[in-house]
A and B are shown apart, each in its own frame.
Chain A
Amino acid sequence: MHMMGAPIDYAILIVYFVGILAFGAYFARFTKSTQDFFFGGQRFSWWLIAASLVATGIGSYSFLKYAQTGFTSGLSSTMTYLNDWFMIPLFMFGWLPIIYFSRIKSIPEYFDRRFDRRTRLVATIFTLLYLVGYIGLNFYLMGLAIKSLMGVEMWIAIPIVAIISAIYVTTGGQTAVIFTDLIQGAFLYIAGAVLLIYGLTHIGGISEWWANLDVAHRLPFPGFNRPAEFEFTGIFWGEGIVGTLAFTFINQGFIMRYLAAKSVNEGRKTLTFNTLLLMPISAVVVGGIGWIAAAMVSKGQINTGVDAKDIFMIVSNIVTRPGIFGFVIAALTAALMSTIDTLINAVAAIGIFDIYKNYFKKEAPDKHYLKASRIVSIIATVVGLALVPVFAQSRSILQAHYTFVAIITPPMLVAIFLGVVWKRFTPKAAFWGMIIGGALILVSIFVPEIIVPIARTHGLTDGSEANIVFESVSGGPIMGPRAAYNWQEIFSEKDGAVSEYVVEYELKSSFKGDYTNSAPVYKKNETIDDVPVTRYCAPLSDLKPRDSYVFRVVNKETGAIYNAILNKGLDANKLPMIELVDSDALPKDAPGKVAKFGFKTAGDYGYFRSVFGLIVTLIACVAITFFTKPKMGIEGLTVDTILAAKRSFKGGEPNETKGGKVVLSPKIVEGEEALVRLPATAIEKLSAKPGDLLYIADKRFWLGGLRSNHIHLGEPHGEGDFIIISRKSFEDGNFIEGRPLEVEKII
């Protein structure tokens, strides 16, 4: 065990921090305008954007969260990463070209251009609160992870990571974000692969690992509507449909990454590569440790009573060695930094484009806005840091943030989605639809019964069914309730019922006995590390959400033996611990000491709340649309008018004839105008015409477009086989004299 880390672990961390800081700060020289700061000059290659998206998509808590899910649900933990493809056509051919060609800089800006200013204001407030909250949340969760893994206090770890992230984002902007993400993404993948290899070796190889997984842990999908915390239908609708739309349509950081691509076509390459290849790999990287752990439990290498939420830490400690452990910690901080840097940059974009430029300083030189962008980046980091103690102080505030995100996401998503696909959709419908939808979701939190009709269509319960589980270990006290992950797997009708015990339960508020119920107790015997363990489970039914209950584990022959009270109510998202109140009353023939037992409801509205929000907002938006007037002059902002966006982007009729690429040496001419001229043969090979938009880049592909520029093609020249380019265009592209340039037509 090296919980606190060996010196070599800390050495690796220090080298990593210094390296990433220096690497990120290097890219400050490529940031000369707000276009560079927020969109990297729209110049990057698909593979660079894809790598950056990978690093952004994996947060430091992803390792902990998906290791836990992988442990409890097996390979189906990959489902959240593998179900995005269904909504991709709308993004690839709809939203992506709209935002790219219409030069949308922020999600709220789209609300303004497509609807009106007040809708933009609502979207700005919602998005800012969401993003800033997420900065604080990411800092907090990373601090928790580091503390649990290394014992380093949050107040030391968080500021160090925050300062490093803020320095390179503030100086290098989106370019630094993308390039550091490339390194951090590689780090994440390598760390995940190393852990997997160590884990598999520890188990005895892939065959041994596979053989020690039960069928439920091998399948690509979890149970159809169970277990409540990770069930198929909820993930399909909540993540695959609503989540994918939310991620692709209203995630400012995600959108900005695609806007940094050199062309829409390059964005499509990123999208395809990322969704079909990199996301599956990410799913393995973050969930793999959990899968290993599940097999280790099966082999008796880990106690079955282990708490699933600690599984990443436990397995990392078992399978790694000093040095590797430091590498894993560096990967966790890399995961945080690569998410935080995107959030900081996204907050700065909204701060500048939707607030500062929109309300305070409408006209100013770009250098002024660039300076302001850097200041806003620092402010975003400081505010995020200030939120850490707030989150740390109160779980209810943390929960409030999650709730807030759940409330705002479906309404914003519906408004933007209808805005994109339906020209008739009106600004008033968007505004009031969002307000009504958000209000109804808020109501559903306090009155979850209104979601029941939707949840029940997929066999989900309203929290009225549950299992209680308790266990005894011969020769010693028990360590708490079973983790929820395999209750249903272990306890079923096929296991033997314990005839002498029954669980009785009644509403706490009605002790008089107007509601009582009982359930048989089932038993399963196991041997863990040569210690016999007996587990008991009683499946309960007809429970009422948010009521309090009294439980008794009763020996039918001798009467009540343990009493417990559930005071927290049946919150489908929580796992209350119920202390037994009179354990002294244990009969001598009871199977060991029972200290406490766990309780888990079967119902979970987490995923279906988003579907509910989507439906009610959709109904409100459609209904209001038919009584209000549509907005005119929205060409280029809907899917059926993308051609108008292309014309606007190019400043002329688009040329979409497929062409080749040419490589030529540059000949620089003095001038302050953007200018590029090519020989007629080159123009013919490009299938281009004067006025077309070209992309010119340093020929070295591995630069990923770092040295490149978009320029409109001038008239052909007959001076030889080279590119005539103005000094300004050459410098804007960060080109190096003497280096050959590759040219392709964009549109």
Chain B
Amino acid sequence: MHEGWVTYLYQFIIGGLFFAAGLVYVVKVKAADLKLSEDRKWTIALIVGFFGLAVVTAVWTLLAINS
């Protein structure tokens, strides 16, 4: 595997663990109350942001290695 993909996977798997832990924690203690529409909206925004970054970076890595 190209080193570019090793760093990519490390970034989004280990980073994803931190992200998920933080998100689960704030939901569990109701700091993010999913019954409230605003909190629900921001929770979704966080998740979309995470996967958006992951997709953009994947495309970038692909282009860097293959073009």
Interface residues of chain A, those whose CB is within 8 Å of chain B, are 75, 82-83, 85-90, 92-94, 97, 210, 215, 218-224, 232-233, 236, 240-241, 265, 268, 272, 275-276, 421, 639-640, 642-643, 656, 658
Residue in chain A with minimal CB distance to B50: A85
One of B6, B16, B22, B60 near A220 (C-beta < 8 A)? B60
Are A87 and B25 touching (Cβ within 8 A)?
no
Write out the residue numbers on chain B whose beta carbons fall within 8 Å of the beta carbon of A83: 11, 15
Q: Which residues of B contact A642 (CB under 8 A)?
A: 31
A276 contact set on B, CB distance < 8 A: 49, 52-53
Check if A93 sits within 8 Å of B4, measured CB to CB: no
Instruction: Report the separation of the CA atoms of residues A421 and B3 in the bound assembly, to the nearest whole angstrom.
Output: 36
CA distance A326 to B14 in the complex (A): 44
| Closest B residue by C-beta to A90 | B22
Assembled-state Cα–Cα distance A87/B14 (Å): 12
- 18 new A-B contacts at CB < 8 Å, known A89-B25, A241-B18: A82-B53, A85-B49, A86-B22, A93-B42, A94-B31, A215-B4, A219-B60, A219-B61, A219-B65, A223-B3, A224-B7, A240-B11, A268-B42, A272-B45, A276-B49, A276-B53, A639-B29, A640-B31
- Interface pairs A-B: 6 shortest CB-CB: A218-B64, A89-B22, A221-B7, A93-B26, A640-B29, A86-B15
CB-CB under 8 A from B42, the residues of chain A are: 92-93, 268, 272
Contact between chains at B31 and A93 (CB < 8 Å): yes
**Distance A640 CA – B27 CA, assembled complex (angstroms):** 10
Complex Cα–Cα for A233 and B9 (A): 12
> Which among B10, B14, B15, B23 is the interface contact of A224 at CB below 8 angstroms?
B10
B36 touches A656 (CB 8 A): yes
CA gap between A223 and B8 in the complex, in Å: 11
A–B complex contacts, Cβ < 8 Å, 10 sampled: A87-B19, A90-B22, A210-B67, A219-B4, A219-B7, A220-B61, A224-B6, A224-B7, A236-B10, A421-B25
Output the nearest chain A residue to B23 by Cβ-Cβ distance.
Answer: A89
A639 to B29, CA, bound (A): 7
Chain B contact residue count (CB 8 A cutoff): 38
A505 to B36 Cα, complex, angstroms = 68
Given A421-B25, A658-B38: A221 and B32 interface contact (C-beta under 8 Å): no
* Interface residues in chain B, defined as those with a beta carbon under 8 Å from any beta carbon in chain A: 3-4, 6-8, 10-11, 14-16, 18-19, 22-23, 25-26, 29-32, 36-39, 42, 45-46, 49-50, 52-53, 57, 60-61, 63-65, 67
A236 with B11: CB separation less than 8 A: yes
In the complex, A236→B52 CA distance in Å?
19
Closest A residue to B12 by beta carbon equals A86
Within 8 Å by CB of B19, from A82, A85, A210, lies A85
Question: What's the Cα separation between A240 and B29 when bound, in Å?
Answer: 25
Chain A min CB distance to B14 (Å): 7
Most buried by B among A87, A89, A275, A421: A89
Where chain A touches its partner, the secondary structure class is helix
Shortest C-beta distance, B24 to chain A (Å), equals 9
* Distance, CA A724 to CA B28, complexed state (A): 42
CA distance A247 to B55 in the complex (A): 26
Least CB distance, B47 to chain A, in whole angstroms: 10
Q: Is B19 a contact partner of A89 (Cβ separation < 8 A)?
A: yes
CA–CA, A265 and B41, complex, Å: 11
By a CB distance below 8 angstroms, the chain B residues around A224 are 3, 6-7, 10
B11 partner residues in chain A, CB cutoff 8 A: 83, 221, 232, 236, 240
- Complex Cα–Cα for A85 and B18 (A): 10
Question: What is the bound-complex CA distance between A656 and B39, given in angstroms?
Answer: 10
CA distance A241 to B22 in the complex (A): 12
Give Cα distance in the complex from A445 to B8, angstroms.
Answer: 31
Q: Quick one: closest A residue to B27, CB to CB?
A: A93
Q: Are B31 and A232 in contact (CB under 8 A)?
A: no
Q: What chain B residues lie within 8 Å of A241 (beta carbons)?
A: 18
Cα(A737)–Cα(B50), bound, Å = 46
**A537 vs B6: C-alpha distance when bound (angstroms):** 27
What separation, in Å, do the CA atoms of A718 and B39 have in the docked complex? 34
B4/A221 in contact, CB under 8 A = yes
The answer on a CB contact under 8 Å between B25 and A90 is yes
Q: How far is the CB of B1 from chain A (nearest CB, A)?
A: 11
Most B CB atoms within 10 A — which of A87, A88, A241, A275? A88
Contacts of B25 in A (CB 8 A): 89-90, 421, 639
Partner of A215, one of B6, B19, B39, B65: B65
B2 to nearest A CB, angstroms?
A: 8
**How far, in whole Å, are A21 and B14 apart by their CA atoms in the complex?**
46
Residue in A closest to B64 when the chains form the complex, CB atoms: A218
Q: How far does the alpha carbon of A276 sit from the alpha carbon of B45 in the complex, in Å?
A: 11
Chain A residue contacts of B31, Cβ below 8 A: 93-94, 97, 639-640, 642
With A and B bound together, what is the CA distance between A658 and B32 in angstroms?
15
Q: Which residue of B lies closest to A421 (CB)?
A: B25
